């Protein structure tokens, strides 16, 4: 998940944790924990905790991280916001103008960028970074070994993973041996130089063979590394999808009390995005550790044999160190391959349905606001199947904008030269040194072995020690992540499942479900200890229409929550058709009950999916979805939307853009208008009543339209709270027709036509039963119900 790291200025707006563009604000989104922001005298800021630490001038900030591709952790995306208070001249961005726009199709993204740039220098001079290796061997590696073994066993079951991993391991092992072979060639150079010093002659054929061998070794190193990276990427994708699907399934099955545990939620959030999967990262780091160890050991062996008999020291080849330093400076200052490290206007748009729905499903299982509907609707398996389907359709399609290669033209050529110059660099330096010794023998040192130790060991073994230390440190973190993964996978829900099937036969639901509370008491797990429901008893017969009334906070909604076993009661019994609800299989109970909560939710999916999830077996049946929308009163306004049933309330993935051209652009000082790209289309803002109608349509999809017709109990928590009088009248008219075939329970603090037609009215206060009966009976009693009824009538007439 992404988190806001910095906020500057005003006029900002927040939308479900995603900050949108405002005139004087910039937001950075990074992986948790949220990075720190340190102002530096108003001229620049330093961000740490992101993908990498960056220092950026405030006048060139890239802002508006509009949208969060939560599986990928995209850094520093969005609109660059000007600190000037004056509005800039708008320039229409024409995606079809080849002099203005360059189009790139990158996986699920359509990408456009401003290419009207003036020539710029290849790189800016800056000092290379130094990284200190920290070597440690934590106890967690030993303690976590059983989980690592389990991970390896699971990986072996993924199709093709053994082949990819085996070849990746072979490539990595060969790559780790080649530096030692290179060191051996260096020793041969050393011996040749010693002979040249003594005899004043040099074997040119041998010199060319050794030089050629070193060049071949350097080429093999780069080739094997590239092939190994390719194999590792394929392995990561295959294995990552499997483990991401499993983690998603775990997240989807968690009940409300378990998911409410903050530690569980944090672990889940870090697991089911397969691009950041700790298990594939762990396997890669294990191979890297093995390769580093082999590399270090073999180089030490070669050096030991080379240094035998050579103990004198010398100072030579200073030029090698100077040239190597210059190379490091040039390589470190070369243009970054990440497009977002640079400046310039761009726009990225995605309309990939699989990617959008995959992201929406991830949001569903991650956020608490959807948890109750997922659990009560028994949607855990359904959304897991949908997630697997979307992941399969995406396959290896790139979803991360960071992987777009931003370096082109002459800068790209320079970068390639630097990349390929690194490996043979020392080879040519050695050849130069050898020829210098041949031409000027008097300049040769007493011991070339010491020279070799300085030039080779310092540049190679120290690097290997540093890499080995980082690998060991990384393994420690990986083992802990693997351990947390499997502990979460094995975590049981806090609400235990029952064993008894429900109903015993399909005809048991043909007349509805009887409901009985026997001395039920309940308090919320995180509450103050006071009972929300206190010794409550009542019975609703099959097919009856019951209305539970009372003041706000009296416990009405809690009664409906307990009927789907979102929580377990503290005392007493709840009986469904005479069976204790705790003995019944949870999946069967939630399949037989349809519920509409007062805090209804619209999932981050298209409206068709929002309604269709009422009956997962008909998720793609648009005729049934339209019928449910008609019953729920949503069809009329959905059909008027541009994207109709494909509309999102809020897209789970936002398009991204930066309207600020580079200072080298032909449009510098202006601002692009991307309206022709129709960014972020496909979503619509709805009123409260319209949202409730979609939620009602989902309920009708499950209880009435469904071909299985396995629902016997309908629960409605303030179903008309956001409806206008006409919509309320139409809703209750349709529901009253179900009397006798469905048991219906409504909770409400508003009295009206529904209570007058109810078979049973239950009036509760502070979680206790005050009165029960039908409308006529309770009005004759002239008790609390009658008082509230008369009060509402007076308010209506006055």
192: CATH: 1.20.1560.10
User: In this structure, what token pair is assigned to residue 151?
Assistant: 């991970």
**Minimum mean pLDDT range among 136-140, 164-168, 542-546:** 136-140
- Three-state DSSP at 524 gives coil
- Which single residue is written with the structure tokens 């064993």? 499
Query: pLDDT-derived band of residue 581, with 50, 70 and 90 as boundaries?
Result: very high
Q: Judge whether residue 49 has pLDDT over 60.
A: no
Q: Report pLDDT digits (tens) over 736-749.
A: 777 767 899 988 87
**Considering the domain boundaries, does residue 477 fall inside one?**
yes
Cα gap 119→344, rounded to integer Å: 13
Distance from chain centroid for Cα 621: 29
User: In this structure, what token pair is assigned to residue 404?
Assistant: 């777009």
**Considering the domain boundaries, does residue 755 fall inside one?**
no
Distance from chain centroid for Cα 285: 21
Q: Judge whether residue 566 has pLDDT over 50.
A: yes
**Considering the domain boundaries, does residue 78 fall inside one?**
no
Whether 698 contacts 600, CB under 8 Å: no
**Minimum mean pLDDT range among 136-140, 542-546, 612-616, 786-790:** 136-140
What contacts 230, CB < 8 A, 6 or more positions away? none
Cα gap 797→789, rounded to integer Å: 12
Kindly report the number of other CB atoms within 10 A of residue 11's CB atom.
Answer: 9
* Helix (H) / strand (E) containing 661: none
Q: Report pLDDT digits (tens) over 237-253.
A: 777 777 778 878 888 88
**Considering the domain boundaries, does residue 659 fall inside one?**
no
Provide the domain limits for residue 331: 139-335+413-489
Cα gap 300→295, rounded to integer Å: 9
DSSP conformational letter for 773: E
Mean pLDDT of 594-620: 86
**Minimum mean pLDDT range among 254-263, 369-378, 411-420, 619-628:** 411-420
Q: Report pLDDT digits (tens) over 88-105.
A: 788 888 888 888 888 888
For the chain, give the mean pLDDT: 72
Angle between helices 353-366 and 368-376 (to 10 degrees): 90
pLDDT confidence of residue 232: 76
User: In this structure, what token pair is assigned to residue 429?
Assistant: 């330096």
**Considering the domain boundaries, does residue 283 fall inside one?**
yes
**Considering the domain boundaries, does residue 198 fall inside one?**
yes
User: In this structure, what token pair is assigned to residue 37?
Assistant: 């922001």
Q: Is the pTM of this model over 0.85?
A: no
Query: pLDDT-derived band of residue 764, with 50, 70 and 90 as boundaries?
Result: very high
Cα gap 155→232, rounded to integer Å: 13
- Three-state DSSP at 43 gives coil
**Could you tell me which residue, 356 or 401, shows the higher pLDDT?**
356
**Minimum mean pLDDT range among 35-44, 307-316, 612-621, 765-774:** 35-44
Instruction: Measure the N-to-C terminal CA separation of the chain; round to a whole number of Å.
Output: 52
pLDDT confidence of residue 397: 84
Q: Judge whether residue 186 has pLDDT over 90.
A: no
**Minimum mean pLDDT range among 148-152, 298-302, 567-571, 663-667:** 298-302
Helices and strands in the chain: count of H runs, count of E runs: 24, 23
Cα gap 54→46, rounded to integer Å: 6
Cis status, amide bond into 503, omega within 30 of 0: yes
- Three-state DSSP at 716 gives strand
Mean pLDDT of 637-657: 88
**Considering the domain boundaries, does residue 356 fall inside one?**
no
pLDDT confidence of residue 678: 85
Strands (E), 268-391: 346-349
Number of structural domains in the chain: 1
pLDDT confidence of residue 19: 31
% the chain with pLDDT above 90: 13
pLDDT confidence of residue 380: 87
Mean pLDDT of 71-82: 36
**Considering the domain boundaries, does residue 796 fall inside one?**
no
Residue 747's DSSP bridge partners are 548, 717
Distance from chain centroid for Cα 337: 23
pLDDT confidence of residue 547: 92
Whether 690 contacts 638, CB under 8 Å: no
Distance from chain centroid for Cα 151: 21
% the chain with pLDDT above 70: 66
Cα gap 627→646, rounded to integer Å: 16
Query: pLDDT-derived band of residue 517, with 50, 70 and 90 as boundaries?
Result: very high
Query: pLDDT-derived band of residue 433, with 50, 70 and 90 as boundaries?
Result: low
pLDDT confidence of residue 426: 54
User: In this structure, what token pair is assigned to residue 214?
Assistant: 């070193």
Cα gap 112→348, rounded to integer Å: 6
- Percentages of the chain per state (helix, strand, coil), in multiples of 5: 50, 15, 35
pLDDT confidence of residue 720: 65
């Amino acid at each position: 998940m992404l988190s806001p790291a910095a906020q500057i200025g005003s006029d900002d707006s927040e939308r479900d944790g995603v900050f949108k563009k405002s005139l004087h604000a910039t937001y950075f989104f990074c992986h948790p924990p949220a990075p720190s922001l340190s102002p530096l005298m108003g001229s620049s800021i330093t961000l740490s905790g992101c993908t990498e630490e960056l220092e950026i001038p405030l006048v060139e900030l890239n802002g508006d991280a509009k949208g969060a591709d939560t599986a990928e952790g995209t850094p520093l995306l969005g609109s660059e916001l000007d600190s000037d208070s004056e509005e800039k001249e708008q320039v229409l961005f024409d995606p079809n103008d080849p002099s203005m726009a360059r189009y790139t199709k990158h996986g699920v993204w359509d990408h456009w960028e401003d290419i009207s740039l003036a020539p710029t220098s290849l790189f800016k001079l800056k000092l290379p970074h130094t990284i200190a290796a920290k070597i440690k061997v934590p106890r967690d590696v030993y303690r976590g070994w059983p989980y690592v073994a389990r991970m390896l066993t699971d990986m072996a079951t993924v199709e093709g993973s053994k082949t990819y991993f085996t070849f990746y391991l072979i490539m990595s092992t060969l790559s780790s041996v080649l530096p030692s072979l290179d060191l051996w060639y260096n020793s041969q150079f050393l011996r040749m130089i010693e002979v040249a010093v003594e005899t004043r002659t040099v074997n040119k054929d041998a010199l060319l063979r050794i030089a050629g061998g070193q060049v071949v070794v350097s080429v093999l190193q780069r080739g094997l590394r590239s092939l190994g990276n390719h194999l590792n990427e394929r392995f990561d994708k295959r294995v990552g999808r499997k483990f991401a699907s499993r983690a998603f399934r775990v997240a989807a099955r968690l009940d409300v009390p378990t998911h409410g545990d903050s530690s569980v939620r944090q672990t889940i959030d870090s697991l089911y995005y397969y691009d950041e999967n700790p298990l594939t990262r762990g396997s890669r780091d294990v191979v890297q550790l093995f390769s580093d160890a082999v590399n270090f050991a073999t180089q030490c062996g070669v050096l030991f044999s080379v240094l035998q008999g050579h103990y004198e020291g010398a100072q030579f080849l200073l030029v090698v160190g100077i040239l190597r330093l210059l190379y490091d400076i040039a390589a470190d200052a070369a243009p970054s391959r990440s497009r977002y490290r640079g400046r310039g206007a761009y726009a990225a748009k995605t309309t990939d349905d699989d990617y959008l729905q995959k992201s929406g499903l991830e949001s569903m299982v991650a956020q608490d606001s959807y948890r109750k509907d997922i659990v009560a609707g028994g949607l855990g398996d359904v959304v897991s199947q949908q997630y697997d389907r979307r992941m399969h359709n995406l396959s290896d399609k790139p979803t991360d904008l960071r992987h777009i290669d931003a370096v082109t033209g002459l800068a790209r050529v320079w970068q390639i030269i630097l990349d390929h110059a690194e490996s043979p660099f020392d080879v040519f330096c050695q050849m130069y040194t050898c020829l210098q010794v041949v031409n000027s023998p008097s300049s040769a040192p007493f011991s070339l072995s010491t020279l070799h130790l300085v030039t080779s060991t310092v540049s190679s073994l120290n690097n290997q020690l540093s890499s080995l230390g980082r690998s060991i440190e990384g393994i420690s973190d990986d083992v802990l992540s693997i351990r947390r993964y499997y502990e979460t996978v094995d975590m049981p829900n806090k609400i235990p499942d029952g064993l008894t099937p429900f109903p015993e036969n399909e005809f048991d639901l043909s007349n509805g479900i009887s409901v009985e509370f026997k001395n039920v008491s309940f308090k919320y797990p995180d509450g103050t200890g006071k009972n929300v429901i206190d010794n409550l008893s009542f019975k609703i017969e099959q097919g009856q229409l019951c209305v539970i009334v009372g003041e706000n906070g009296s416990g009405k909604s809690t009664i409906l929550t307990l009927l789907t076993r979102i929580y377990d009661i503290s005392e007493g019994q709840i009986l469904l058709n005479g069976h204790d609800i705790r003995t019944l299989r949870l999946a069967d109970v939630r399949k037989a009950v349809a519920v509409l909560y007062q805090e209804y939710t619209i999932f981050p999916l298209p409206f068709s999916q929002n309604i269709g999830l009422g009956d997962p077996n008909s998720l793609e049946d648009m005729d049934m979805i339209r019928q449910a929308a008609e019953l729920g009163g949503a069809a009329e306004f959905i059909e008027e939307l541009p994207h109709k049933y494909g509309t999102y309330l809020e897209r789970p993935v936002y398009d991204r853009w930066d309207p600020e051209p580079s200072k080298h652009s032909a449009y510098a000082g202006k601002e692009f208008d991307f309206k022709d790209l129709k960014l972020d289309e496909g979503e619509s803002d709805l009123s409260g009543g319209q949202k409730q109608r979609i939620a009602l349509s989902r309920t009708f999809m499950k209880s009435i339209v469904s071909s299985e017709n396995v629902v016997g109990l309908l629960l409605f928590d303030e179903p008309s709270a956001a409806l206008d009088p006409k919509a309320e009248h139409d809703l209750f008219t349709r529901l009253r027709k179900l009397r006798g075939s469905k048991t219906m329970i409504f909770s409400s603090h508003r009295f009206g036509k529904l209570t007058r037609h109810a078979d049973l009215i239950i009036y509760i206060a502070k979680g206790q039963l005050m009165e029960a009966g039908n409308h006529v009976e309770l009005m004759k009693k002239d008790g609390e119900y009658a008082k509230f009824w008369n009060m509402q009538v007076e308010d209506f007439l006055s």
